[in-house]
Structure formats: C-alpha cells, structure tokens
Structure 1
Amino acid sequence: MQNFERRRDRFALFDRMDSPAVNLCFTMHLPEFRPWCKEQGLGPFHVLLCAVLRAILQVENFRYRVLEREVIEIDRLHPSYTVVNQHFDLNFAQFDWSDDVREFVARSQAAGRAAGAMEALNDNYAGMSAREAREQVFITCMPWLDFTSIQHPMASLAAPDIPSLAWGRFRSGPDCLQLPFSVQAHHGFVDGYHIHLLAQRIAAELEAIMLASPFIL
C-alpha cells in the first residue's frame, strides 16, 4: 500500500465529492486475435475477458477498494459479466477464476449459458462476503454498438471503488483490431494515465496468450 499512501491526499480530495468517479471512453487498439481464437476453438469475447482481468491485476491502482471505510488492496478477482437471457433481459454470469486460459474460457462460457437460461435475476453475488464483493470488476459487452459514451449504474454515487468496464463492436483497423472501450473507476485511485496503462497491459496480455498457443483439442 506504499504507492497508495503517496496519493492518499488525492483520494481524500475526490472521495469527498458527490461523485468521485472518472469515466473515459476511447478506441482500444488490440492485436487482431480473432483468427487465432478460431484456430484454437476459443470464443473471442472470453479470451478478451481473460486478458482484461489479468491486466486489471497487473495495474495496482485498479486493485484498490474501500472496505469498511478503509482502503484495501485486493489480489484476486471473481470473474463475472453481463449476458442477455432468452427474453433479452440482462443477467449476470459468474464463475471461478482459472490461470489456464482454456479452462478460464470453458468456465466463462458455461457460466454465460447458465445465466442466459435463467428468467429470474442471478443473485449469487448476494451470498458474497463484504470482502468477496470487493474482489470484482463489473464487465459488460455490447457487441451490437460502436458506442462513444456510457454511464454505468452505481449503488451509490459516492462509492465507485469497483471498476466498471465495457466494450462494444469489434472492427478491423489498418493494422490492428479496434473497439470502443470504457473504463469507470474511483478517481482517488485511478487517473487517465492508469487507464492508458491498463489498455497497454490488455494488448500485452492478448499477445502473451497467443504466444502461449494452447494445444488444440
């Protein structure tokens, strides 16, 4: 927490505001990983989700949370993301972490199918402890939209310490993959520079995943 202590005054500044959240939407540039996913039989969304969550854990500022009015640093994540069910209503897919990308994708896909088959809202998160609830990142994907702005819901405007991330429709660029990407986080923890670092780490994680080349089953 030494790095946080250096910015505790920044945290105090933003935390006393009505809404301390910073929300940036930008065009993410990533290596074109979809052909690799097709070759490996892995869903692109789930591979990107894996890269995003791995990157979150590597940028310290995205691991800060507020628990019982104290700042803590988490070291693990409970993966989850939004899906639509058969009636096109939102639901939440939740699953256990795996360091192995193929197992991560399998668990993610299974959780998505299970949540998509539910009519009632998946409320498994209600059984989390207060600490476990902070070990999340809120993820949504809107593959139909090339959006330029987004406002994420928050239980309280004064408590945006769990980051909210969203991305939209993939499009091929001249030498890379491009997609709209949004990051919302507590400005006491995260500045624009840290969002830049996160974007770099996501691209690097995708490269690393492709270089590892999981065995085709």
Structure 2
Amino acid sequence: MAVLRPVDTDHWTRREWFEHYRYRRPTYCSMTVDIDVSQLVPAVRAAGLRSYPAQVWALATVVNRYPQFRMALDENGAPGIWDAVDPSFTVFNPDLETFCNVWASYEDFPAFHDRAAHLIDEHRSATTPFPQGFPPPPNLFDVSSIPWTSFTSVSLHMQTGWDHFAPAFTLGRYREDGDTLMMPLALQIHHAAADGYHLARLVNDLRALISTPEEWLT
C-alpha cells in the first residue's frame, strides 16, 4: 500500500513557491509537446503488444522518478509525497460514446501491460465512470486519450482543482512528419507542485525512454 510521507516544510527549499502558488496566486501549468514514437510503435507491434498500455507505463515510469509529480495533501491540508503513484487511464465505450476510468498498479512492464490490457478488454462496455469502484485509490495520476485526432493544445479546467496536485496527461492521434511518427502529449499540474523546469525534465525523460523500447518491452 502506498504511503503519503509528510514534507518537512521547515526545511523545504520549495516552501515559499508552494505557498505562493497555493494560497496567493493559485495557478495550473499546462504544456503540449510532440513525442517521437517512431521507435516505440513498430517495436510494440512486432512484439504483439498494445501501444496504449506501453504509453501509460512509460508515463508512470517517469512520473514516479520525481517527487514533484507525486505530491498530494493529507487530511489536514499539509503537503506530502507518495512513495509511489499508479496510473488511472480512460477506456472508451464506442456504443455509448462514453468512457470509464480504470487503474492498475505500477510494476514491471510485462506485468503492467497484461493487467492494463485485461482492464481495457473487461471494461470496454462499462456503463459507469468508475467500474472498479468509487472512490478510486488516492495515489493516482490521470491519463486520457483522444486517438481520433491530433492536437496542438489541450487544457482542463477543474472548478475544485486547487487542492489537486497529481499531474494529468492527454494523448493524441499519431501524425506523420516526414519519416517521423509523432504523438501529441498534453500535461498539466498545479504550479505549487512543479514549475516549467520540472515539466521539461519529465518530457525529456519520457522522450528518452520511448526512444529505446528494446530496453523495457520484454
């Protein structure tokens, strides 16, 4: 079970920035980037695997590397860092034109892929938003997919989101750019948790991970 470990705010170098963007000027950061999936897509297909679980696992890998993307508030409103977070990802119901949210524990890729693929198949016809039960576990971050179109920007606006610190990711449809296959990725996070530097580092890590699928697909 994941543990939310309290932040020692008396010795926290980010304390003033956290308090500014949480209390004085609540702000969300958004960024949309292109991810080169030219190596990932054919490798996944050649292995007889699915791209969506691979993309979600790659996101979970880089998210779990950094405390800025594992932040949450405890029951008293104090900041803490989860020792591990798991991905919650959307599954589309084509008959109802709705989606549900499912989640899987982050683990090594083969085990995660099989679990995620099973959840996708099991809940493709779900008629409720949370078929695994509500409320979901607290140590989740969000991944959604819009595979029907590419995009240059996506923004989410949460009315009650100022105490929500988990990152949110949106994946888009591939597009060809010369000999390169690109996938748009939008990411958002509370500015109290992370700055542009942290988002850029996460994106760069993700690009590096996805460019070497032979190191983790099997």
TM range, normalised to the smaller chain? 0.7 to 0.9
2:90: which partner in 1?
82
Secondary structure at the residue paired with 2:64? helix
Q: Any residues of structure 2 matched to 1:1-217 within 5 Å, and which?
A: 1=7, 5-17=12-24, 19-30=26-37, 32-68=39-75, 69-85=77-93, 86-99=95-108, 101-128=109-136, 132-133=137-138, 135-154=139-158, 156-174=160-178, 176-212=180-216, 214=218
Q: How many residues align?
A: 209
Q: Is the 8 A contact 2:171 2:185 kept in 1?
A: yes
**1:72 Cα offset (Å):** 0.6
Secondary structure at the residue paired with 2:34? strand
Which structure: greater strand fraction?
A: 2
Give the alignment's TM-score, normalised by structure 1: 0.85
Runs of 4+ in structure 1 displaced over 6 angstroms? none
Question: Which segment drifts farther, 152-161 or 8-17?
Answer: 152-161
Q: Report the AA paired with residue 110 of structure 1.
A: H
Give the alignment's TM-score, normalised by structure 2: 0.85
Q: Report the AA paired with residue 116 of structure 2.
A: S
**1:123 Cα offset (Å):** 4.8
**1:169 Cα offset (Å):** 1.0
Q: Is the 8 A contact 1:19 1:157 kept in 2?
A: no
Q: Is the 8 A contact 2:32 2:153 kept in 1?
A: yes
**1:155 Cα offset (Å):** 5.8
Which structure: greater helix fraction?
A: 1
Structure 2 residue runs of 5 or longer lacking an equivalent are 1-6
Secondary structure at the residue paired with 2:91? strand
C-alpha distance in 1, partners of 2:33/2:216?
28
Secondary structure at the residue paired with 1:79? strand
**1:190 Cα offset (Å):** 0.9
Q: Is the 8 A contact 2:31 2:186 kept in 1?
A: yes
| CA-based RMSD | 2.3
Q: Is the 8 A contact 1:81 1:93 kept in 2?
A: yes
**1:27 Cα offset (Å):** 2.3
C-alpha distance in 2, partners of 1:116/1:213?
24
